[in-house]
């Protein structure tokens, strides 16, 4: 058990009494920031694959993907319970009838105890949320919202296509359905400062988020971010600075919010920059070492308002 912060694995074990493993599901999804509704280029860091580096083909049914992954993951990690994680691109960006079918397919797989949808704050309207709730058949649902930065100016720079206010509104709406909520944040975007990491932790704490993923910014080949990096338009903070930001984030995060990730994990062949050439696990260890050096832990600086 981690004595510095609450891990997602521990949160799920506390909830279900045993190990729960998160399995990716790949849908033929896109994004309003890619299909012309809000834009066509997507976020400046998003490549053609999205984040589905380890996903099975979207041509497989939801049930086939889950069962295939279960057959491999279950024995390897001694897991019998699973979260169906709709991961790549925007997984609530479908017509309601299609959304219902994908949700039902996952909910009907034996061993799946929760459904999790990675999406955007501007793609969680009431019609989609009510569709998911009904199709889930009583199983717990988590909506993971990509926020990335708490600064609207930064969101505009990365061509995110939504504001912080839209994120806050989405959180409040999702809560009315009894769903849990996750948030994704990138702690080393070039336009954000160290103090923004602590401010982000305070925001998600105040909103009552259940789980967070903090990512290190990676630069994938072929993206707009790649062009900006190659042409010297941006600078990425040092590894040491990132460790400080991550430790600040943890200290200001409410103690009951679980942390799913502290650094990105992507194939090296797809990127020209990722984690300063350091393994994600080593970055995690360095962040933990910094917390110990401070004599600190999750929530040490969090104050309930």
Domain definitions of the chain by residue range:
8-294
- In the block, tokens 């090296």 appear at 268
Question: What is the per-residue pLDDT across 87-110, written as a single tens digit (0 to 9) for each?
Answer: 988 999 999 999 999 999 999 999
Which residues, including other chains, have CB under 8 Å from residue 60's CB and lie 6 or more apart? 26, 68
53 exposed, middle or buried (CB, 10 Å; 0-12, 13-18, 19+)? Answer: middle
The confidence band for 136, taking pLDDT boundaries of 50, 70 and 90, is very high
Start-to-end C-alpha separation, the chain: 29
Give ∠ CA 42-136-11 in degrees, rounded to 5: 80
Question: What is the per-residue pLDDT across 213-226, written as a single tens digit (0 to 9) for each?
Answer: 999 999 999 999 99
Q: How far apart are CA 124 and CA 195, in angstroms?
A: 29
The confidence band for 7, taking pLDDT boundaries of 50, 70 and 90, is very high
CATH of the structural domain 8-294, one choice from 3.40.50.1370, 3.20.20.70, 3.30.70.20, 3.30.565.60: 3.20.20.70
**Is the predicted pLDDT of residue 50 greater than 50, yes or no?**
no
**Is the predicted pLDDT of residue 1 greater than 80, yes or no?**
no
Least confident of 54-68, 138-152, 242-256: 54-68
**Is the predicted pLDDT of residue 47 greater than 80, yes or no?**
no
DSSP state of 231: T
Encoding tokens for residue 161?
């296509």
Question: What is the per-residue pLDDT across 246-292, written as a single tens digit (0 to 9) for each?
Answer: 999 999 999 999 999 999 988 778 789 999 999 999 999 999 999 99
Q: How far apart are CA 125 and CA 169, in angstroms?
A: 10
Query: What pTM did the predictor assign?
Result: 0.94
180-186 β-sheet, strand order: 20-25, 81-86, 112-119, 140-148, 180-186, 211-215, 258-261
Percentage of residues in the chain having pLDDT higher than 70: 97
Question: What is the per-residue pLDDT across 144-172, written as a single tens digit (0 to 9) for each?
Answer: 999 999 999 999 999 999 999 999 999 99
């Amino acid at each position: 058990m981690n004595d510095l912060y609450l891990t997602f694995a521990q949160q799920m074990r506390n909830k279900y009494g045993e190990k729960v493993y998160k399995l990716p599901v790949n849908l033929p999804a896109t994004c309003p920031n890619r299909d012309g509704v809000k834009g066509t280029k997507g976020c400046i860091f998003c490549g053609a694959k999205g984040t589905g580096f380890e996903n099975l083909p979207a041509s497989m049914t939801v049930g086939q993907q889950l069962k295939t992954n279960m057959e491999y993951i279950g024995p390897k990690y001694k897991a019998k319970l699973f979260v169906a994680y709709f991961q790549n691109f925007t997984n609530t960006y479908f017509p309601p009838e299609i959304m219902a079918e994908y949700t039902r397919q996952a909910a009907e797989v034996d061993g799946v105890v929760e459904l999790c949808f990675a999406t955007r704050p501007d793609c969680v309207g009431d019609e989609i949320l009510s569709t998911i709730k009904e199709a889930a058949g009583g199983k717990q649902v988590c909506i993971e919202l990509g926020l990335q930065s708490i600064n609207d100016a930064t969101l505009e720079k990365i061509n995110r296509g939504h504001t912080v206010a839209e994120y806050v509104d989405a959180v409040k709406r999702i809560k009315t359905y009894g769903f849990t909520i996750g948030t994704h944040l990138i702690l080393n975007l070039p336009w954000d400062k160290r103090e923004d990491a602590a401010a982000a932790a305070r925001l998600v704490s105040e909103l009552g988020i259940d789980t967070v993923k903090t990512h290190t910014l990676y630069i994938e080949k072929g993206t707009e971010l790649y062009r900006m990096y190659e042409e010297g338009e941006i600078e990425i903070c040092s590894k040491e600075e990132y460790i400080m930001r991550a430790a600040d984030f943890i200290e200001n995060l409410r103690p009951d919010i679980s942390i799913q990730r502290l650094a990105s994990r992507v194939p090296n062949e797809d990127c020209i920059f990722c984690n300063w050439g350091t393994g994600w696990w080593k970055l995690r260890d360095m962040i933990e070492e910094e917390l110990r050096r401070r004599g600190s832990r999750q929530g040490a600086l969090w104050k309930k308002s």
